[in-house]
Amino acid sequence: MSDITASSKAPGLPEEWREPLIWLAILCTITALFLPLAFLAGDDGIAKPLRSPSGLCVMLIAGAIASVRFQSWLGDLLLFLSSHLTAGILLFMVPAYSGAAGWGFWLLLISSWLLAWQLVSRLSAHRLEGRLQTLLDLAIPIIFGLWLLLLWEMVVVGAGVPFVLLPPPSQIGARIAESLPLLWADFQQTFLLGVLPGYVIGCSAGFVVAVLVDKVPFLQRGLLPVGNMASALPIIGVAPIMVMWFGFGPGSKIAVVVIMIFFPMLVNTVAGFAAAGNMEKDLMRTYAASYWQTLLKLRLPNAMPFIFNALKINSTLALIGAIVAEFFGSPTVGMGFRISTEFGRLNTDLVWATIAVAALAGSTFYGLIALIERRITFWHPSARG
């Protein structure tokens, strides 16, 4: 044992000093000290460089070095404080230097990000008891996600990216907050009136037809190939026709959703029904079980992993279908309508706000179905763990 541990230790720096992210962060901060934070236009109209705040740099370096020294919770806390304080100060200052940020700014941003990275990797290695571990498991993705937004904000504002190309998250957030009634109305129109009914109708129709296909061999040979062709129809081509047939209201959106999700449900359910083993089917035969008994007690439960695959795929397909369908005609409300009209008016923040709502709705819908799946297909080897 002792031989192995001894040989695995490389010569050189002791274990706790080998943290390249920290050293890189310190290097960036020192370099930032000698580079301008931003260029501010003077009274004469000539841009003057603004020095990086040395106090901030010293604090960052001190925090970094101290975190290496203390490998305990104290070190984590120091890392958290130094990286987030720096980021907070930069975030506070950046609107003043919009589009005029210098290398000092970017290096400071990079070093605080590196420290946060180091913090997350240190936190991921911790093993705690019970509730604390759950909290930690939650904190890690939250810190990670916050930093993504933070970097997005700083890069867009600091580099002065045009608003139309990519608005900063703060502006999207503000837009969401002030347009809540509008976004809620869009969500109702698209999701509650279009996606959900279409999803229920499309999935049930796919399932019922799968049972018919299973029961009637003629359908298996005739309908499946035709259905295959139907599934290859481009949604962009079908959507305007559905709008023509079913009008601007939710009816046409439901139709598009049904067309999009019917076939994945049908194919997966048919495959699931066919997946029951020969021995399990013979067993039912020895019990003189009827077709419906065999279907209910063997083939349907056995097909559940397949069916839930389709339900999950369809949850996202349905949302896409309803939004795209609204591009081709809708009342003056709905997520697809909002995206297409506000984009035309170059209100990109509202477009992004709608995208955020769609992403939230879509992933919640998907997550909900995945949760039900875990409860129902607990017995499947993939879920047993």
Partner 1 sequence: MTEPSLKEPDSSEKSVIQIDDLSLTFETNDGPVHALSHIDLSIAEGEFVSLIGPSGCGKTTLLRVIADLERATGGTISVNGVSPEEARLHRAYGYVFQAAALYPWRTIDRNIALPLEIMGLSKKEQNSRIAKNLDLVNLTGFEKKFPWQLSGGMQQRASIARALAVEPHLLLMDEPFGALDEIVRDHLNEQLLKLWAKTNKTVVFVTHSIPEAVFLSSKIVVMSPRPGRVHDVIDCGLPRDRTLDVRETPQFLEIAHRVREGLKAGHSYDD
Instruction: Choose, by CB under 8 A, the member of 10, 13, 142, 288 that binds partner 1.
Output: 288
> Does 375 participate in binding partner 1 (rule CB under 8 A)?
no
Q: Sign of torsion, CA 102 105 110 113? A: negative
> Does 297 participate in binding partner 1 (rule CB under 8 A)?
yes
**CA 111/CA 87 separation, integer angstroms:** 10
- In the bound state with partner 1, the residue whose beta carbon lies nearer, of 16 and 282, is 282
Cβ count near 87 (within 10 Å): 22
- Indicate the DSSP class of residue 10: P
CA dihedral 298, 299, 304, 307 (to 10 degrees): -170
> Does 384 participate in binding partner 1 (rule CB under 8 A)?
yes
> Does 6 participate in binding partner 1 (rule CB under 8 A)?
no
Give the distance from CA 2 to its chain's centroid.
46
In whole angstroms, the minimum distance from the beta carbon of 306 to partner 1 comes to 14
Interface size with partner 1, residues (CB under 8 A): 23
Cβ count near 63 (within 10 Å): 24
336-372 burial, b at 16+ Cβ within 10 Å, e below that, comes to bbbbbbbeeeebbbbbbbbbbbbeebbeebbeebeee
- In the bound state with partner 1, the residue whose beta carbon lies nearer, of 345 and 384, is 384
Residue 83 neighbours by CB under 8 Å, 6+ apart: 60, 63, 112, 113, 115, 116, 119
Instruction: Choose, by CB under 8 A, the member of 121, 133, 134, 293 that binds partner 1.
Output: 293
Binding segment for partner 1 (CB under 8 A), chosen from 69-77, 103-111, 273-281, 366-374, is: 273-281
- In the bound state with partner 1, the residue whose beta carbon lies nearer, of 240 and 301, is 301
**CA 350/CA 171 separation, integer angstroms:** 9
- In the bound state with partner 1, the residue whose beta carbon lies nearer, of 101 and 284, is 284
Instruction: Choose, by CB under 8 A, the member of 4, 6, 125, 279 that binds partner 1.
Output: 279
Instruction: Choose, by CB under 8 A, the member of 225, 247, 277, 331 that binds partner 1.
Output: 277
> Does 137 participate in binding partner 1 (rule CB under 8 A)?
no
> Does 298 participate in binding partner 1 (rule CB under 8 A)?
yes
Residue 383, token pair as written in the block:
């879920």
| Contacts with partner 1, 319-358, as mask; x by CB under 8 A | ----------------------------------------
Instruction: Choose, by CB under 8 A, the member of 301, 320, 342, 369 that binds partner 1.
Output: 301
In whole angstroms, the minimum distance from the beta carbon of 282 to partner 1 comes to 5
SS (H, E, C) 257-282: HHHHHHHHHHHHHHHHHHCCCHHHHH
- In the bound state with partner 1, the residue whose beta carbon lies nearer, of 144 and 292, is 292
Amino acid identity, residue 46? I
Residues of this chain that bind partner 1 (CB under 8 A): 277, 279-280, 282-289, 293, 297-298, 301-302, 304, 377-381, 384
